[in-house]
Chain A
């Protein structure tokens, strides 16, 4: 099977990643790595991960999202996760798993708004 890659899009000084596939482990780790590179190269102030198409998030993927959030923060940027599905949120709560190293917003629009407020 061909290597998949998740595209990272730059809008002004934000990096936007729309995850359109079930995150498997290799893919998630690759994403973390290339995202770090892009934050450094582009001097991005914010990173937005859109997970509205992701139907299952387990504790391992949660850890990866948290790790991405932490590393983005270490580089001086802010990380938002947007579009978590209701069933995914309920499941994470029930499992007692925390998404505490990232910010969350309901939609992409709201995340962009919050990031803009931060910068003005």
Chain B
């Protein structure tokens, strides 16, 4: 029985390294190990739209060919365009009442390997909504810093990626990193912003770095209540 991983792996091999394939299949979760023949059509769509964003990221030259071949292997027709848009919308956790949030993805951050997953996820989301290559790398780096802070200082938390539209309809990405950790005491916060804080494990520059990277930045923290960082990358036009 051919699983999703063996079937798609055969297509990607030669263009995408084994290590990168690993991370692509990790993102598919249990679906990767299921035999293709046993997938429901919704599952097939999910696999395909996940593949689309990762393959576009890693195989710059012939991503279209690879996605088309993957679609054939999965028995899904009509690649990209409306179909991909529809699944992406359905995969998100529904639009909010306000109407500015187009879709959202909440990622649990509990251990070091979640940091890599979060930044990969953020990167492909940024590419998917049309942010430039440079901005997408900035998005991934900011998420990496925020996720790392959660693992180091709070132990666990979440990073939420929200696609937001401005009044001109341009998509941007809002990142909300939340934890219920110890919070940052005011004295330490002062040191952090002054650039004099030095942490044991990192550079102590994570928050400052994120603030410099993003277009909008907001920090809510209280001792004993945890920390929430909300920041925004505006869409480019």
Contact residues of A with B, CB < 8 Å? 4, 20-22, 24-26, 55-60, 62-63, 85-88, 90-91, 94-97
The answer to the question of B120 belonging to the interface, with a C-beta cut-off of 8 Å to chain A, is yes
The number of A-B residue pairs with CB atoms under 8 Å apart is 81
For the complex formed, measure the closest distance between the CB of A25 and the CB atoms of chain B, giving whole angstroms.
Answer: 5
Select one of A20, A26, A91 contacting B141, CB under 8 A. Answer: A91
**A56→B115 CA distance, assembly (Å):** 12
B-side interface residues, number (CB < 8 Å): 30
Report Cα–Cα, A6/B205, bound state, in Å: 27
Q: A22-B120, A91-B141, A96-B208 are in contact. Are A63 and B213 (CB under 8 A)?
A: no
Decide if the interface of chain B is mainly helix, strand, loop or mixed. Answer: helix
Select B203's contact among A22, A57, A97, beta carbons within 8 Å.
A97
**CB-defined A-B contacts under 8 Å, sample of 21:** A24-B116, A56-B123, A56-B137, A57-B141, A58-B148, A59-B202, A59-B209, A60-B145, A60-B203, A63-B202, A87-B134, A87-B137, A88-B137, A90-B134, A91-B137, A91-B138, A91-B141, A95-B209, A95-B212, A96-B208, A96-B212
Minimum C-beta distance from B114 to chain A (A): 10
| Binary per-residue interface labels of chain B (1-19) against chain A in the complex, 1 for a CB within 8 Å, 0 otherwise | 0000000000000000101
Q: Is the CB of A22 within 8 A of B116?
A: yes
Q: List 13 other contacts, CB 8 Å, given A24-B116, A58-B119.
A: A21-B19, A22-B23, A57-B141, A59-B205, A60-B203, A60-B206, A90-B134, A91-B134, A91-B141, A94-B213, A95-B208, A96-B209, A96-B212
